[in-house]
Amino acid sequence: MRNHIHHKNAANTTELPRALPAASPTVLLAALLGALLAAVGLFWPVPAAQAAVVPNAITSVSTTSTVGDQWSQVDFTCRWAVPDGSQPGDTFTLQLPPQLRWFGSTDFDLKTPSGETVATAHASDSGLVVFTLGSFVASHQGIGGTCSFSTLYAEKPASGGTTQLDFQVGSTVIRVPVTIDQPCQQDCAPKPPATPEKGMWWSDTAQTELKSVFHLPATTLPTSDVTITDTPGPGTQIDCSQIVPRVGTALDQDGNIATPSDEDAYPAVIECTPSLLTVTWTGLPKGELAQLFVVTKVTDGTLDAYTNSGHVTIAGKDTPVMVEVRRTSAAGTGNGSALPSPTPTVASPTSTRDGATGLETPPATGTPTTGTPTTGSPTTGTPGPSTAPVAGPPETPAQPQPTAAPLAYTGAGGTAVVPLAILLLAGGTVLAFLGMKRSAKRRAH
């Protein structure tokens, strides 16, 4: 069968306008995704860079303390400085030498004379002190200051003289000489005191508990009654579960009653409340020594000093005793000069045209004075470099300087999303255009 093809007269044929070809869902999705990413990239927050570690910020360490024996308190001071441009959150460290143990507050602030916090510090049990810069450094330059802290000498000195303590500061070591008292050479055995004595000391580095001991002289009568009363001062109370009375006739090398002791033969009568302790021995023979160990808890940690008073009565003779222990605390200072204020932007002179005459009026004469502020040296810390003022040309006025150094950024954020969004948007547009052309060709055939 022959196909019949009907030919239309071109002159009588009317072409209806064709609708634009619809893009495929995939193409539309690509274009939409590109536009969405472009919008998100414009507002995506740029994450801040990780805090930096400032090397060798501790510039010196010194002490005037002398080591008398193991567990002697040794106080140190230091000076520190960080370079301009350091950011809030940046840190620097100080590692104590192995001979020393941290003693006192583990957290403290480094403040300006007006009370602004420049940095904070935290000391770990390992003796590592980490200093963290605060927001103060964002608006100041020439940042530096001091620190002070207390330690305990943990080793038993072998001999007198001077020893070197190595403080690790970043990649360097600061060596500090410390004087060691000459130990006893002869007749060094502990001896009983001639009169009643009392000592008290901190038993923990957090300074929440105090230990004390009463040392009594040997009794001199055939029999003696002995009574000790102990009264804690403000901010403390007695822990009645940690009362240890001792009696005997000899002392060990640490000055405590040696074993075997005589507690079983001469037991003590203990009456204790958090605010008062009374311990009594009855009928102690001649030559007997008595000691009493007491633990008190701190109930008010805001005090600078804690006292304890007591009375010792031996064969009717009363002797008052009193002791005070001060709280050791780490502290620090910091300071810096404020960043210069922004220099106002001076507009370039322009000509004006008179609307009536059409003549131009020349700009006013005179050149604005601009200059770069000089960076001054800080009161504490390492001086910053000095920059001489430089006058800029009149047609290029100095740009204003920010009053606060902005946080550093990694660059991986919204700025990276925008190019990708543009590529996707362009790709989606091209695909949409090619789809439209192919659709047009198919309709043409």
CATH number of the domain within which 73 lies: 2.60.40.1280
| Res 294 pLDDT > 60 | yes
A 10 A CB-CB count for 92 gives 24
pLDDT in tens, 15-62: 444 444 455 555 555 555 555 555 545 455 545 557 899 999 999 999
pLDDT, mean of residues 368-393: 35
Same domain, 174 and 228: no
Q: Cα separation of 1 and 3, whole Å?
A: 6
**202 - beta bridge partners?**
210
**228 - beta bridge partners?**
279, 312
Domain around 210 = 198-326
User: Is residue 356, in this structure, part of any structural domain at all?
Assistant: no
Q: Cα separation of 183 and 160, whole Å?
A: 6
Same domain, 216 and 118: no
User: Is residue 212, in this structure, part of any structural domain at all?
Assistant: yes
A 10 A CB-CB count for 389 gives 9
Mean per-residue pLDDT of the chain:
77
What was the pLDDT predicted at 104? Answer: 83
- The alpha carbon torsion through 430, 432, 438, 444 (nearest 10 deg) reads -120
Q: Are 77 and 146 in contact (CB under 8 A)?
A: yes
User: Is residue 373, in this structure, part of any structural domain at all?
Assistant: no
User: Is residue 234, in this structure, part of any structural domain at all?
Assistant: yes
What was the pLDDT predicted at 444? Answer: 53
Same domain, 78 and 156: yes
Same domain, 177 and 62: yes
CB-based burial of residue 140 (10 Å sphere; 0-12 exposed, 13-18 middle, 19+ buried)?
A: buried
Higher pLDDT, 184 or 8: 184
Show the CA angle centred on residue 399, arms to residues 393 and 403, nearest 5°: 145
User: Is residue 261, in this structure, part of any structural domain at all?
Assistant: yes
For residue 156, name the pLDDT band (cuts at 50, 70, 90). Answer: confident
Same domain, 211 and 116: no
Q: Cα separation of 419 and 409, whole Å?
A: 18
| Res 379 pLDDT > 90 | no
User: Is residue 335, in this structure, part of any structural domain at all?
Assistant: no
List Cβ neighbours of 16 (8 Å cut-off, separation of 6 or more): none
Count structural domains, the chain.
Answer: 3
| Res 420 pLDDT > 70 | no
Q: What phi and psi, each to the nearest 5 degrees, are found at residue 169? A: -125, 100
| Res 139 pLDDT > 70 | yes
A 10 A CB-CB count for 4 gives 5
| Res 111 pLDDT > 90 | yes
Same domain, 305 and 236: yes
Same domain, 72 and 171: yes
Inter-axis angle of helices 25-43 and 414-444, nearest 10: 160
Domain edge (last residue) among 326, 349, 379: 326
What was the pLDDT predicted at 216? Answer: 97
What was the pLDDT predicted at 413? Answer: 41
Same domain, 231 and 318: yes
Domain edge (last residue) among 326, 342, 370: 326
CATH number, position 268: 2.60.40.2430
For residue 266, name the pLDDT band (cuts at 50, 70, 90). Answer: very high
List Cβ neighbours of 245 (8 Å cut-off, separation of 6 or more): 263, 268, 270, 279, 281, 290, 291, 292, 293
Same domain, 203 and 322: yes
For residue 135, name the pLDDT band (cuts at 50, 70, 90). Answer: very high
| Res 423 pLDDT > 60 | no
What was the pLDDT predicted at 218? Answer: 96
For residue 330, name the pLDDT band (cuts at 50, 70, 90). Answer: confident
What was the pLDDT predicted at 240? Answer: 97
List Cβ neighbours of 235 (8 Å cut-off, separation of 6 or more): 298, 299, 300, 301, 302, 303, 306
For residue 440, name the pLDDT band (cuts at 50, 70, 90). Answer: low
Higher pLDDT, 2 or 323: 323
pLDDT, mean of residues 366-382: 35
Per the rule left: phi > 0, alpha: psi between -120 and 50, beta: everything else, 115 is left
For residue 194, name the pLDDT band (cuts at 50, 70, 90). Answer: very high
pLDDT, mean of residues 109-122: 96
Higher pLDDT, 71 or 210: 210
User: Is residue 152, in this structure, part of any structural domain at all?
Assistant: yes
Same domain, 117 and 158: yes
User: Is residue 80, in this structure, part of any structural domain at all?
Assistant: yes
Terminal Cα-to-Cα distance of the chain (whole angstroms): 24
Domain edge (last residue) among 184, 210, 228: 184
Q: Cα separation of 79 and 92, whole Å?
A: 12
Same domain, 43 and 73: no
Same domain, 145 and 235: no
